[in-house]
Structures are given as C-alpha cells and as structure tokens.
Amino acid sequence: MPEALDSDGLREVLTYYDSWLAFNQHYLRIPGVQVAVVAAGSVAFSAAYGVADAENDVPLTEQHLFRIASHSKTFTATAVLQLVEQGKLRLDDQASQHVTEIVGTTLGDRTVRELLAHAGGITRDSVAADWWQLDTSFPDRDQLLAVLREESSAVLPENERFKYSNIGYGLLGLIIEAAAGTSYNSYVQQAIVDKLGLTELGPELDPARSSEYAAGYSALAYADRRVPIEHVDTRALAAATGFFGNARDLATYFSAHLPGDDRLLTDKSKREMQHPLWQTTDKDWPRYGLGLQIAKVGERRLFGHGGGYPGHITRSLVDGSAGIAVSVLTNAIDGPAQQLAEGFFKLLDLAGSKDRPADVAGLSRFTGRYANLWGVSDIVQLGGRLYGLDPTGGDPADQPTGLEVDGDSLLVTEDYSGAYGQRYQFTFDAEGRPETVRHAMGLSAYPLDRFTLPDRVTVR
C-alpha cells in the first residue's frame, strides 16, 4: 500500500493538481469545480475554478455551497453507528422495531445492517421517482411510508446481492428519528456537523442561505447550452440525498473517519463501516461497506462516496493509510467529479513511484504548459523528477514521459511514443523563462499564454 509523500513531494503534487484542475474545468466546459485536500490533519489545499452562476458571471469561490446528495449516506451511517455505540440501536434490529408503521410488511423485516449495506433488496427509488428531474416533489414522511408498505418495493430477497436503494436510506432516517427521539436533520446536525465545528455542512436545503449555493446546471448531451436547475428540498429522503456543503468542510468531515480519530466514532465502528462487504459490479472493485463506497485507485484502497443531485455531481475519496481526504464538487449534472478526485491519487502515485533524487535544483525552469497546433502538453515536477504529461486525458499520470536535464535540453529517458533517447530543446528569455520548446518529435511548442495559431491556419 503506497504511503503518504513527504512534504516536498506533496507540495509538488498539489502545485500540478491545481494547474490540472484549472485546465480541465475550462477544457471539459464545466461551469465550476471546487476542491479540497486534507492531509496531516489540516486542509492542505483548497481552490475553486469557474463560475457559481453563469448567467450573472459570478465567480465560484471556496465558500460556495453544493448539494452533495448521496454523501448524505455516510452521515446517516455515521449516525447509526453512533446510536449503536450508545446502546439505542443494534445493527441486527429489524426496521419495524423502530418504525412501527411498517410492522408486518416485508421491508419491516429488513435489518439495519442490510439497509446500510444496500443488501435489503429494496427498490431504488420506487416505480415513479420523477422528483429526480423535478417533475414532482421529493416524498414526505407519509409518502415514504406508503412506498415502504408496498410489497412491490421488495425487489429481491435480502442479502442476495448489492441493490442500491435511496428508499432504504430514507427508512434509515426514520429509524434514526425513533432511536434518537428527534428529527433526522436535528440529530445529524448536532451529533456530527456541530460536533466537528463545521459551519458549511448541513442535512438539507437551507433557504436562509440561498445566495451561498452554487447554481446547478443541466448536461450538454441533449442541448447546446447548459440551463440552471432549481434547488429543492429532499424532504423524507434527506438521509439518502439531502446534505449540502463545501469541499473544505466535506474533506474535513471525512478526515474524522481516519484511524485514531475518536471525535465521531470508535475505530471499531469505523472499521465496520469501511469493511468492503459487497461487490457493486461484476468486477472485484469497487465495493460497498456500511454507508461507504470502497474503491481501488492503483494499489490504494480508498473509501468515500459520490453524490448526484440535479445539477451537482460530487465525489470524496479517502486514503486511510496515508491520512489524506479529497473532495471534488462540480455544478453540472454531467460533472466529472470522480475523474478529478481520482486524478489526485494517480499523481500522488507517480510522484512516489521512484526514490526522490538528492539534487532537484534547476528543474522548475522547464516546467509549464506548452501548446502547438496539435494540442497542449505539460512538463511537470513530481517526486523531484520531470515528466511530460497530457492534461487532456482523464488520467493525468497515464503514460508519462520521463525527462532528465542536460544543459538547456531535456533527454527522454522513458517514453510511450517512440521518442526515447531524443531531446526537448528549450530557448529562454532574458529572465530565464521558457520562450520555445522543440519537442522530441521535432515540433515547436510555446508557453500556452503566449501561443497563437500559425498564420496559415484559417479560422472561420
């Protein structure tokens, strides 16, 4: 299992991650991207790119709030495990022991553990769930109970396979209310959010903070332009999808699930949440625990969750061994939050793939983003070494070109394109900044901020 980099290596990764995120927000035409990284117990990186409101040209800030949707399931699972530790619940309790309105129904026999693990065989959202495209309101308590009483809501027998269910998590919200003696929203606010001192997280849409929310936008798959989507209350499904937050507070919340941190749960309860119980596809990974998704990126086993709300796609990943949590929030219904979150760990692995050289002086003068007619490429310092990377790929560390300094040129020492043994030839201005670079392929490129298309290219 890869461990955390030293402070110099982490700083190099974060420097390039910032540049890569900014490029991808523009390149992928995402309205806004907000990101935070927590390492060594504090926020090591926080940034925002693009706009919170495209119609009014409002820049996105680190403070703007996003709907983080199914991240809510991790708060719900945390609340359940807290109540188990308090002796108010047992994981093997049947749902109907706490929600008496469903006594005698098939779903009433499902256990708390089965609900947390999506192992209850319960309908995902019922047969009519157009609240996900705002055609109807999200269900209230009575409407949720009506769905839970329907025999058709038991799609599969319990523990047959992984069967994702927002309805099942809505039921967990009702169980928490019964066990805690207060509303779901009040319990998670006080026992989780307030306990961590986080002011930018909450269990449901807060109309009093409407000006703080980033607007959500539709996809480009079915239209030429993105259209803003209204924020709505998720009512009885708050335990499945109601939470809001910003990246800083969300990553900080996830850091409380690292080993040795007892602010929310004992390590025993956290291990139970993070145990990879169910395969979620026909492949070995990813898996699901109790309210947490468990994935592998390279050799790293990561836990966390994603969220899909109309207009917002979000993703958080945590490396428990390295003590690092990453949260990426986007305000488009097709936002690539998972790709952008995984990119951090892929860069981390590249930076740590070799021993750090003792002498790294003079490397930074070559680094930058360079463009020619064929596109852009980056020269990056990671782990005390130089690499050529393609910022347009989903994996920023895919097929890196290894480079070594030789005077004012870089020798290609690792390559996937047939350029091994050739050089990147640089010219520098009077202040030592790169003016041109002739790639190993023989093509000239220029710093992106100075690049213009050749005169013979006709732009219509």
Q: What phi and psi, each to the nearest 5 degrees, are found at residue 37?
A: -125, 125
CA angle 178, 180, 184 (to 5 degrees): 80
Give the CATH class of 364-450. mainly beta
- How far apart, in whole angstroms, are the C-alpha atoms of residue 256 and residue 266? 10
State residue 1's pLDDT score.
Answer: 45
Q: What single-letter amino acid sits at 21?
A: L
Strand-pairing partners, residue 379, are 368, 388
Q: Which of these, 91, 81, 97, 80, lies nearest to 114 by C-alpha position?
A: 91
- How far apart, in whole angstroms, are the C-alpha atoms of residue 59 and residue 61? 6
Q: Which of these, 79, 67, 169, lies nearest to 124 by C-alpha position?
A: 169
pLDDT by 10s per residue, the chain, length 460: 455 578 999 999 999 999 999 999 999 999 999 999 999 999 999 999 999 999 999 999 999 999 999 999 999 999 999 999 999 999 999 999 999 999 999 999 999 999 999 999 999 999 999 999 999 999 999 999 999 999 999 999 999 999 999 999 999 999 999 999 999 999 999 999 999 999 999 999 999 999 999 999 999 999 999 999 999 999 999 999 999 999 999 999 999 999 999 999 999 999 999 999 999 999 999 999 999 999 999 999 999 999 999 999 999 999 999 999 999 999 999 999 999 999 999 999 999 999 999 889 999 999 999 999 999 999 999 999 999 999 999 999 999 999 999 999 999 999 888 889 999 999 999 999 999 999 888 899 999 999 998 877 765 5
Domain regions of the chain by residue span:
7-65+201-351, 73-180, 364-450
- How far apart, in whole angstroms, are the C-alpha atoms of residue 366 and residue 404? 11
Q: Are 352 and 7 in contact (CB under 8 A)?
A: no
Give the CATH class of 7-65+201-351. alpha beta
Asked whether this chain's domains 7-65+201-351 and 364-450 adopt the same fold, the reply is no
